[in-house]
Amino acid sequence: MALVVLLLLPLLGAVVVAVGRARPAAAWVAVGTNCGALALGTVVAVREIQIGPMTGAWGVLRADALSAFMVVVIGAVASLASWLGVRMIAAELADGRSTPARATTYLVLVQAFVGNMLLAVLAANVGVLWVAIEATTIATTFLVGHRRTKGSLEASWKYIVICSVGIALAFLGTVLVYLATLHAGGHSAGALDWTSLMAHASHFNPAVMRVAFALLVLGYGTKVGLAPMHSWLPDAHSQAPAPVSALMSGVLLTVAFYAILRFKAVTDVAVGPGYSRALLVAVSLLSLALAASLLLTQRDYKRMLAYHSIEHMGLIALGAAAGIPLAIAAVLLHILGHGLAKSVLFLTSGEIMAVEGTSRIDGIHGLLARRPALGGVFGVGLLALLGLPPFSLFTSELLMIRAEFQVGLGWAAAAAMVAMVVIFIAVAGHARHMLFGPGTAPPEAVLAGTDLAAVPAAAVARSSPLVTAPLIVGLVACGVIGVFAWPLTELLRAAAHVVAP
């Protein structure tokens, strides 16, 4: 029952917004439903640890530790993003850059997006998971193209074409898994449920499962943004409005990875851990190398953040490759930390773009001097993302490296660390350019080349605490979790054992 309510909350938000035609009150109700989803998710997680997995909706939904954890992540990021989304929509409506119809579409689609992500992680059935993830692609395409510029149109076209191809391949992988389970004696009624798959996995034909897992990594990996299927990611995440980028980068990528984790658990029983390990290591190292090389020459800070997401997805894949419970727990912690920090950063960069008028790195100087609150949040967020203590990404990366050495993937961890150092240098260099320096205005020539709507006069004022407060809360949460993982240790341990029993 609780699970059905959990799914209905974002839906309720969508209905309220659709009826209320993007009036601020309706929008805040939607934010409230997302926060409610976070709260309910926490309750479900606690109950799951105490009682065990819960099911709902006649077995279509199932929440074990892993699902509950992902619900918490989704809830947290969705609350942050929709909070700032309200403000963005209000600003657009005030300046006439948007109509109530488009604002309503935006808000409804965001709720549909959040609802589908929740459905994906709560699905008991692999087919429902697929349908939900495909639905998120459809919901986000218009969100990416929200600003109706040529760049965003191109980005949304690339996004939906590449991700649809990937999702189609993931469906083929799912069909092959279904074939394997039917031949191993599963009954067609519940054959695609996770529990049934795990139970019969030892009888699956290894050759079929190998092909299936490769297709699933290729397919869902497209949505995760792993190289070489990543080409949609920088465009989509940089052209989308900031709250949407936060949601996509913070949590959609990891929901797609959640699917890969689940299938990895099944494949490891059927084929042995070596195959998935090799595949995931290859993909992760490729992503890390690509992110490192392309981050050095970035000129746009939103694209920089997008490539940084590719790096983190590579790290997560590397952690998952190790496969032992310690590694999976580290991966999940990383998912949470990355979700919080990346969404805070994207939301901050959205604010920066709104007040500065440019998304180019060389168009922004002395942010700390001119707008200390925004600059401070941005700087601290970057510190968090680069893996510095006390933030949780430091902890999770350390645990991952330890786990890699434990299973003999030390060489891969070393290569990853080299890439991380390069990325650190690149991002720190870009950040230094943006944050430090005197508080003078950027040269006109730089601003002239940007592709933006006109900077609204009202945005030159100081950012309101209503904006910076949730961002600071997000960063603080990230830091707290890094130091004391205690609210989550039990949950992480249980979730890790779902994937690596």
* Interaction between residue 105 and other proteins (CB under 8 A): no
| 33, 98, 125, 343: which one binds other proteins (CB under 8 A) | 125
**Which one of 129-137, 309-317, 419-427, 460-468 is the stretch in contact with other proteins (CB under 8 A)?**
129-137
Closest approach of other proteins to the CB of residue 168, in Å: 5
Of 206-214, 251-259, 273-281, 380-388, which part binds other proteins (CB under 8 A)? 206-214
- Residue 29 makes CB contacts below 8 A (sequence gap 6+) with 13, 16, 17, 20
User: Which residue's CB is nearer to other proteins, number 150 or number 486?
Assistant: 150
CA atoms of 284 and 323, how far apart (whole Å):
14
Task: Report the nearest approach of other proteins to the CB of residue 52 (Å).
Answer: 26
Nearest to 323 by CA among 484, 458, 496, 160: 496
- Tell me whether residue 238 or residue 276 sits nearer to other proteins (CB atom): 238
Compute the radius of gyration of the chain from its Cα atoms.
22
| Closer residue to other proteins (CB): 451 or 466 | 451
Q: Which of residues 295-324 bind other proteins (CB under 8 A)?
A: 297-298, 303
Could you say which residues in the range 439-458 bind other proteins, by CB under 8 A?
451
CB of 130 to other proteins, least distance (A): 7
- Residues 437, 214: Cα–Cα separation, whole Å: 49
Q: Hey, is 149 helix, strand or coil?
A: coil
Part of the chain binding other proteins (CB under 8 A), chosen from 143-151, 247-255, 316-324, 411-419: 143-151
Residue 114 CB partners (closer than 8 Å, separation 6+): 10, 34, 37, 74, 78, 82, 247
Taking a C-beta distance cutoff of 8 angstroms, is the pair 404, 410 a contact? yes
Our CB check for other proteins shows the closer of 191 and 259 to be: 191
Of 288, 294, 330, 495, which one interacts with other proteins (CB under 8 A)?
Answer: 294
* Closest approach of other proteins to the CB of residue 338, in Å: 22
The neighbour count for residue 443, using CB atoms within 10 Å, is 11
With contacts defined by CB under 8 A, name the span among 154-162, 354-362, 409-417, 480-488 that binds other proteins.
154-162
3-state helix, strand, coil in the chain (%, to 5): 80, 0, 20
Q: How far apart are CA 17 and CA 113, in angstroms?
A: 14
Among 4, 46, 157, 472, binds other proteins (CB under 8 A): 157
Quick one: 137 or 249, whose CB is closer to other proteins?
137
Sign, CA dihedral 289-235-72-166, equals: negative
Residue among 1, 150, 454, 461 that touches other proteins (CB under 8 A): 150
Distance CA 428, CA 348 (A): 17
> Which residue has tokens 């997995």?
53
What would the x/- binding string for other proteins be over residues 217 to 236, using CB under 8 A? Answer: -----------------xx-
User: How far apart are alpha carbons 50 and 197 in whole angstroms?
Assistant: 25
Answer yes or no: are the C-beta atoms of 247 and 144 closer than 8 Å.
no
Least distance between other proteins and beta carbon 405 (Å): 34
Q: How far is the CB of 150 from other proteins (least distance, A)?
A: 6
The correct pick among 91, 153, 199, 452 for binding other proteins (CB under 8 A) is 153
Least distance CB 188 / other proteins (angstroms): 7
Residue pair 313/257 in contact by the 8 Å Cβ criterion: yes
**Per-residue interface string for the shown chain with other proteins, residues 163-202, x marking contact by CB under 8 A:** -xx--x--xx-xxx-xx--xx----xx-xx----------
Q: Could you tell me the two tokens for 364?
A: 């922004």
- For 270-304, give the DSSP string: HH-HHHHHHHHHHHHHHHHHHHHHHHTT--BHHHH
Write out the residues near other proteins by the rule CB under 8 A. Answer: 125, 127-128, 130-131, 134-135, 137-138, 141-142, 145, 150-151, 153-158, 160-161, 164-165, 168, 171-172, 174-176, 178-179, 182-183, 188-189, 191-192, 205, 207-208, 211, 234-235, 238-239, 294, 297-298, 303, 451
